[in-house]
Amino acid sequence: MGLSKTTLVVLVTLQCLLSCAYLVAAQGSWALLNKNAGISSMHTAVTHMNTVIMLDRTNIGPSAIKLPDGRCRKQPAERISKTDCYAHSVMFNPANNQVRPLYVYTDTWCSSGQFFDNGRMVQTGGDFEGNRKIRTLQPCGAGGNCDWVELGENLATGRWYASNQLLPSGIRQIIVGGRNTPSYEFYPKRKAGEGFFNLGMLGGYNNLYPFVYLLPNGDLFIFAVRDSVQLNWNSGKVVRGYPQIPGNPRNYPSAGSAAMLPLTWQTNFGFAEIMVCGGAATGASNSGNANAPASASCGRIVATAGKPNWAMQNMPIRRVMGDMINLPTGDILIINGAQNGYQGWGMANNPALNPVNYNPTKKQFQVYAKTNIPRLYHSTANLLADGRVLLAGSNTHQFYTYNGQYPTELRVEAFSPPYLGAGFNGVRPAIQGYPKFIKYKQVFVMTFTVGKRVGGVEVNMNSAPYVTHSFAQGQRQMKLKTSVPAKAGNAWSVQVTAVPGNTIAPPAYYLLFVLQNGIPSKGVWVKQNN
């Protein structure tokens, strides 16, 4: 006897629930935070003061926000406006969604950055007169007046489209690659007069904004195009090469994205796995094909394995110019970008409006609720302390252009993953007590409250990356060892063991989250010290 139409629908639905759960429901919610932030942020970083640095480039002419008190930038090397009274960087306050103009002197177009251990942002390179410049900003709270400081010292060579990584000391960064710059260097220098060091894999095309990660043994994993190596930056030796990732090229202008999966106490933080997703079709950027379907493929490689290889999987939505964010839960959020084309002005279309969640343990994707704001070229995504994801930028034009299919985007919005939904309010933990400073291997106590019976407690620690061009520079997450929760008055307490050393989490400020049955608290900032 044949099956009825209704029975077939039920069976198909059940099969989908088992094998393609990512297609079932669109969850999460969106909120518009600011209709006009004044700039279209191509570089964004969340500070330990819970403010957000937003930064564009200077050679675009007027932005939508002026410098305060009649101040103007007089830059004789500027190619567009030698006298410019408009801001090209702002400080955003997620508490009230307001912005404050910042002053930046040289061109920061397609530059790179990272926080030092004291929370100071170091921002390097850019275009033209900014190509060798080093800028810093010591963050302040919402009521402060901190601003960019341009240093007198320069990089050893010009860096445009480079990537920065904080090294284990917490007071030195490595700056890798850049256009026509197949090399790396250090800031600050390890000795007077130190220059740069060549790295052959960074030659060629599709190799900009390389994916750089600090491995648990202190070496670096560096990925460009389809190739990757393990570099001992102390000796300058390439320890080994990894197998090529199958499929398409992944770095700018092909614009895939990457994330390191959480480092966990269960493996003594010695198991480091890198995930690389999406990007433009092979040859799309060479031929100028803005309609070529983007890649849906993701690859995972255990960079610390004796014989590593790529394990491939497809996303439910193909994507170029996506951002991959470590969520407090240990999942990866893939957000922003387009389904066709590649990175560049007007070189992509068919926006990817739905974020996608990836659970590394279950190896499953889930499609989340879509936005109505396309985020294409020069857009960013950053995790906030409250668990939301901040979205900014998108400018597919050489200058600020407010008409056409994809106008310059000045709006700032936030995506709330399902763990912030109304149904979870009763089980969301709230941190009550914690140390503001942590030493390696330290066992410390955290207390928290929760509306229902406690269970399934985790403590996770996230870095604060510098996000630009589909890569979150310096992003990492550590899952810390915790004791069984114990009652502590009206709250609960757990003993938490800090990471064992500075190659796991370099000295810096981190967001600490307590999770109750997979639901994270709001994060608190802690300083990891040596």
CATH number at 386 reads 2.130.10.80
In a domain, 7, yes or no: no
Same domain, 478 and 403: no
| Per-residue pLDDT, 239 | 97
Average confidence (pLDDT) over 423-435: 85
CA distances from 220 to 177, 215, 240, 323 (A): 14, 6, 11, 21
Same domain, 282 and 356: yes
In a domain, 1, yes or no: no
Provide the sign of the torsion angle of the four alpha carbons 366, 368, 374, 378, taken in this order.
negative
Higher pLDDT, 275 or 452: 275
In a domain, 3, yes or no: no
What pLDDT band is residue 4 in, cutting at 50, 70 and 90? very low
CATH code for the domain of 449: 2.60.40.10
Task: Report whether 57 contacts 68 (CB < 8 A).
Answer: no
| Per-residue pLDDT, 421 | 86
Calculate the CA dihedral of residues 26, 32, 38, 42 and round it to 10 degrees. Answer: -20
Average confidence (pLDDT) over 104-131: 97
User: What is the per-residue pLDDT across 15-32, written as a single tens digit (0 to 9) for each?
Assistant: 333 334 344 456 999 999
In a domain, 303, yes or no: yes
Among the listed residues 372, 518, 483, 386, the one whose alpha carbon sits nearest the alpha carbon of residue 52: 386
Distance between CA atoms of residues 266 and 479, nearest Å:
9
Distance between CA atoms of residues 506 and 529, nearest Å:
8
In a domain, 275, yes or no: yes
CA distances from 461 to 419, 514, 527 (A): 17, 9, 11
| Per-residue pLDDT, 142 | 85
For 41-110, the three-class secondary structure string (H helix, E strand, C coil) is CCEEEECCCCCEEEECCCCCCCCCCECHHHCCEECCCCCCCCEECECCEEEEECCCCEEEEECCCCCCCC
- Residue owning tokens 């250090």: 186
Residue 207 has pLDDT above 80, yes or no: yes
Same domain, 407 and 495: no
DSSP H or E stretch at residue 8: helix 5-19
Q: By percentage, how much of the chain surpasses pLDDT 90?
A: 90
Same domain, 108 and 203: yes
Q: Which of 420, 448, 481 is the last residue of a domain?
A: 420
Q: Which of 387, 420, 453 is the last residue of a domain?
A: 420
Q: Which of 420, 454, 478 is the last residue of a domain?
A: 420
Same domain, 42 and 101: yes
Same domain, 435 and 385: no
Structure tokens belonging to residue 255: 């614009």
In a domain, 6, yes or no: no
| Per-residue pLDDT, 426 | 64
Domain residue limits at 357:
20-420
- Assessment of whether the complete model's pTM goes beyond 0.85: yes
Half-sphere exposure of 375 (CA within 13 A, CB side): 32
DSSP H or E stretch at residue 6: helix 5-19
CA distances from 395 to 140, 178, 332 (A): 28, 21, 25
Residue 201 CB partners (closer than 8 Å, separation 6+): 182, 207, 222, 224, 227, 229, 238
What pLDDT band is residue 59 in, cutting at 50, 70 and 90? very high
Residue 47 CB partners (closer than 8 Å, separation 6+): 53, 115, 119, 121, 139, 464
Distance between CA atoms of residues 358 and 447, nearest Å:
29
Same domain, 370 and 451: no
Half-sphere exposure of 306 (CA within 13 A, CB side): 0
Residue 7 has pLDDT above 90, yes or no: no
Same domain, 437 and 383: no
Same domain, 430 and 405: no
Average pLDDT, the chain: 93
Rg of the chain in Å (alpha carbons): 22
CA distances from 26 to 22, 317, 497 (A): 9, 13, 36
DSSP H or E stretch at residue 137: strand 133-137
| Per-residue pLDDT, 25 | 53
Residue 151 has pLDDT above 90, yes or no: yes
Q: What is the largest CA-CA distance in the chain?
A: 85
Same domain, 243 and 268: yes
Same domain, 268 and 225: yes
Higher pLDDT, 264 or 1: 264
Domains contained in the chain, number = 2
| Per-residue pLDDT, 79 | 86
**DSSP letter (8 states) at residue 422:** G
Distance between CA atoms of residues 139 and 49, nearest Å:
7
Distance between CA atoms of residues 356 and 365, nearest Å:
7
CA 164, distance to chain mean position in Å, is: 12
In a domain, 14, yes or no: no
Structure tokens belonging to residue 261: 């999966």
**DSSP letter (8 states) at residue 294:** P
| Per-residue pLDDT, 427 | 79
User: What is the per-residue pLDDT across 309-331, written as a single tens digit (0 to 9) for each?
Assistant: 999 999 999 999 999 999 999 99
User: What is the per-residue pLDDT across 372-389, written as a single tens digit (0 to 9) for each?
Assistant: 999 999 999 999 999 999
User: What is the per-residue pLDDT across 244-254, written as a single tens digit (0 to 9) for each?
Assistant: 999 999 999 99
User: What is the per-residue pLDDT across 252-266, written as a single tens digit (0 to 9) for each?
Assistant: 999 999 999 999 999
| Per-residue pLDDT, 425 | 63
Among the listed residues 211, 207, 321, 210, the one whose alpha carbon sits nearest the alpha carbon of residue 255: 321
| Per-residue pLDDT, 16 | 39
- Ranges 29-43, 156-170, 419-433, 495-509: which has the least confidence: 419-433
Calculate the CA dihedral of residues 122, 127, 132, 137 and round it to 10 degrees. Answer: -20
| Per-residue pLDDT, 204 | 86
Task: Report whether 434 contacts 480 (CB < 8 A).
Answer: no
With H, G, I as helix, E, B as strand and everything else as coil, classify residue 13.
helix
Distance between CA atoms of residues 321 and 254, nearest Å:
8
In a domain, 125, yes or no: yes
Average confidence (pLDDT) over 412-431: 87
Same domain, 98 and 228: yes
